[in-house]
Amino acid sequence: MSTSDPTLDPALDPALDPAVEAHLEATREARLASYLDLLRIPSISTLAEHAGDMRRAAEWIAAELTRIGFDHAEVSATPWHPIVYADWLHAAGAPTVLVYCHYDVQPVDPIELWETAPFEPFVGDGRVIGRGAADDKGQLHMHLRAAEALLATRGRLPLNLRIVFEGEEESTSVSMPGWLDANRGRLGADVVVISDTGFFEGNIPALTESLRGILYTQIDVSGPPADLHSGTYGGNVENPANALARIISELKDRDGVIRVPGFYDDVIPVDPAARARLAALPFDEAAYLERIGVPALAGEHGYTVLEREGARPTLDVNGIWGGFEGEGSKTIIPAHAHAKVSMRLVARQDPLTLFEQFRDFVLRVAPPGVRVEVTRLGAGRPSATPVDQPVVRAATRALRATFGQEPVFKRNGGSIPVAEMFERQLGLPVVLLGFTNPDDNAHSPNESMVLANYEIGIRTICLLWDILGREGID
C-alpha cells in the first residue's frame, strides 16, 4: 500500500480537535433535547393541514442557525413550503461547501403500526425514535450541531458554508427548480454535500455513488356516475376495480420486466468497476430477508440484489383504493378505482419522456367501458457522484477516522431530486454523505436513528470541514 496518498492509509487519517470533542461531550444532553424538540414538529409536506407546521419547523431551524452564528438566516418563501437559507462566509481563501438537508417528513400512516406516538420522540435501546429521526431531521440536526461545536470552540469555521434546508423533498421538490434559478447569485460553492442517505447493511459506513430518479403517477378509472348493484348490472357494465386490476397486471411480466414500450431504451448497463464494487460488498441475503420480513425475494433475472436495488429501474404500485372497504359485505360495481404507481429510474432515463410512454401504455391496455386518466404527481432525475473526486476521498478519511472502519461505496435505490438539480442547474458537484442505518425504518412506522451514528456523525462532519478547510478541494 502506498502511503503517498493519505486517503489510502488509515494511519494518516486526521483526528478530531480535542477542544471540539470536549465541547460535544459537555453539550450532549442539551443537544439531544434540541433534537427531540425538532422531531416534535409534525412537518409533513404532503398534507395540506400541516402547512402551519411546515412554517413552524422552518422558523425553528432559522432561529437555531442565527443563534449558532450563521449570517442571513432566513425562511425563504416558495409557491408551497419555505426553504431555509443561511451562510457563514468568513474563511478567506478556503473552499465553500453548500450543505443540503430537508426538514419535511413522511406521513405516519399506518398509524396503528406505531408502537409510540410518531411526534412524541424519545430515546430507547440506543436509538432516537420518532418520525423524521433518520429521514431527514436527524441528519439536518447533525449539521447544526457540528457547526455549533466549531463556532463555539474557535469563533469561526475552517471553511465557508451555505445552508439550504428544503421543505418539499418528500414531495419531489416541486419548488426547488424555480428557487435555485431565482437564488443562483447567492449559491456559489465548490461542492454540495447532501446528508439524506445512509450506511450499508450491518451499519457499515458508506458513501453513496448514485441515486435513482423517480416518476410518481396516479391512475384514475371511472365507470358509472355512481355505484351500481352488482346483481342487476354485473356482467353488462365494466367494473372500474376489475379494469384497474387488468391495467396493473399488464405493467410487468412474471419475471419482473416492465412492459411499457421504450421503458428500457435509455438504461445504461452498470459499468464493470461499479459492478465489482457492488459484488465486493458484504451482503448477507438471509439477514436481509429476515430484516424486511418476507419469505423470498423477487425481481429481474440476471441481476444481484444490490444491482436491482440501485442500478436497475423499477415500477411499483404504492396504493390501490376504490369501492367498498368497510366491514362486512356490499355487493356493488364501484363507480371509481384508483392506484398510485411510482417508477425508480437510472442514468439517462428521463421522467418526462417516460411519463408519456407510461400514460400511453395504460390508456392502450385499459378495457373499453371505463374512462382512464393518468396524472403525473412528481418527477426527479437520477444522479451520480464520481468516487474519485477529492471531496469523496476526504469524506472517506473522515468516516474512517471517526467510525473506525473502512467505508464502502453503495448505490442508493431511493431518489433525491435536488441532487440532479444542483448538478444541472448550478453546475455543482454533489457528494452524498449520510449516517442512517438500513433498519432505521425511514418512511415506515417506528422510524429511528441509531444514537451512536448521530453522535459520531456530528464528529465526522466536524472533521470533514477541518480536512477541506486545511487541504482544499482541488
pLDDT digits (tens, 9 = 90+) for 445-471: 999 999 999 999 999 999 999 999 999
- Is residue 437 scored above 90 in pLDDT? yes
The answer to whether the beta carbons of residues 54 and 38 sit under 8 Å apart is: no
Q: Where in the chain is the domain with CATH 3.40.630.10?
A: 10-211+383-471
pLDDT digits (tens, 9 = 90+) for 254-300: 999 999 999 999 999 888 988 999 999 999 999 999 988 999 999 99
In the numeric block, which cell numbers belong to residue 176?
A: 426547488
- Is residue 2 scored above 50 in pLDDT? no
Angle at 405 between CA 402 and CA 410, to 5 degrees: 105
Q: Count CA atoms closer than 13 A to 282's CA, side-chain side.
A: 11
Dihedral pair phi/psi, residue 80, rounded to 5°: -130, -100
What CATH number belongs to 213-267+313-380? 3.30.70.360
Q: Which residue has the higher pLDDT, 269 or 50?
A: 50
The answer to whether the beta carbons of residues 185 and 175 sit under 8 Å apart is: no
What share of the chain has pLDDT > 90, as a percent?
A: 91
Mean pLDDT of 132-161: 98
- Is residue 8 scored above 80 in pLDDT? no
Report the alpha-carbon distance of residue 328 to residue 60 in Å, rounded: 47
Q: Where in the chain is the domain with CATH 3.30.70.360?
A: 213-267+313-380
pLDDT digits (tens, 9 = 90+) for 196-244: 999 999 899 999 999 999 999 999 999 999 999 999 999 999 999 999 9
Report the alpha-carbon distance of residue 470 to residue 443 in Å, rounded: 38
Report the alpha-carbon distance of residue 407 to residue 409 in Å, rounded: 7
Residue 43's alpha-carbon distances to 97, 446, 467, in angstroms, are: 26, 16, 34
The answer to whether the beta carbons of residues 196 and 414 sit under 8 Å apart is: no
Report the alpha-carbon distance of residue 206 to residue 229 in Å, rounded: 57
pLDDT digits (tens, 9 = 90+) for 297-325: 999 999 999 999 999 999 999 999 999 99
Mean pLDDT of 133-161: 98
Q: Work out the mean pLDDT of the chain and round it to a whole number.
A: 95
Q: Report pLDDT for 1.
A: 37
- Is residue 111 scored above 60 in pLDDT? yes
Q: Count CA atoms closer than 13 A to 332's CA, side-chain side.
A: 20
Handedness of CA 227, 231, 237, 242 (dihedral sign): positive
Mean pLDDT of 377-397: 93
Q: Report pLDDT for 13.
A: 80
pTM, full prediction? 0.88
Mean pLDDT of 117-144: 97
Report the alpha-carbon distance of residue 438 to residue 201 in Å, rounded: 6
Tell me which fold the domain 10-211+383-471 belongs to.
Aminopeptidase (3.40.630)
Q: Report pLDDT for 3.
A: 43
pLDDT digits (tens, 9 = 90+) for 351-364: 999 999 999 999 99
The neighbouring-strand residues paired with 161 are: 88, 97
Report the alpha-carbon distance of residue 151 to residue 400 in Å, rounded: 24
What share of the chain has pLDDT > 70, as a percent?
A: 98
